Structure 1
């Protein structure tokens, strides 16, 4: 398994295609949620990727600078682990690496996410706490969660 973090400008055409395909496969097809994935946030984001021994994209999230998704916080979004790797701990490692990047690269103190409510326990394991009542986003119940990092 190999990890990489690249700014959008550093991604190859193939990488962009693979990222969009994985996000579509999971969020649109698997979760049956029709939403506008291309929201212009990718252009200024860093993209954390996990690739297997065959160089296939099997894990991904985007890292968003202060004020991009939340006016008072950094953010992590589009968190995905391919179905074959779910439950292996790779998802937790993905989020922890994202948190570490934000802390080290931007000096971030707080990270806010819009988490699918069914994943509350997963995000609590990596340091996030619930900040809102459930709300609907793209037809799926979500909650706002925040992690304070030292």
Structure 2
């Protein structure tokens, strides 16, 4: 069984994240969307809200599982027996940053990273942009899945 983890803070999940997950579904038997918990980070949405947004959106997709974890992603991968990390790339800066992490993960834990390029219509979306637009009362409906809009 080919299983992948798609780690992130998902504060909140965006249509860019959804694009990557949906396009990766044919590649894996299961995709675990794993919300990393970083006590040093200030989140706009609570862990429960972020998890709810994702679970509600993917409620009818049996190949998607949503979990939370603390610590290193590679340690969590070992704990749940996952061999692939799924990551999306929006631009060259993402590639350089993610490449270094992927090489480190392979060296330290023999875990492969699978990169998918974001679709052109979602490549500009990031959670930080969504939070900024939301914070200032802007319309985020074209940036996030409907489950986030219910908030």
Asked if TM exceeds 0.5, the reply is no
| Structure that is richer in strand per residue | 1
Relative CO higher for 1 or 2, CA cutoff 8 Å, sep ≥ 6? 2
Q: Given the two structures, how large is their TM-score scaled by the length of structure 1?
A: 0.28
| Structure that is richer in helix per residue | 2
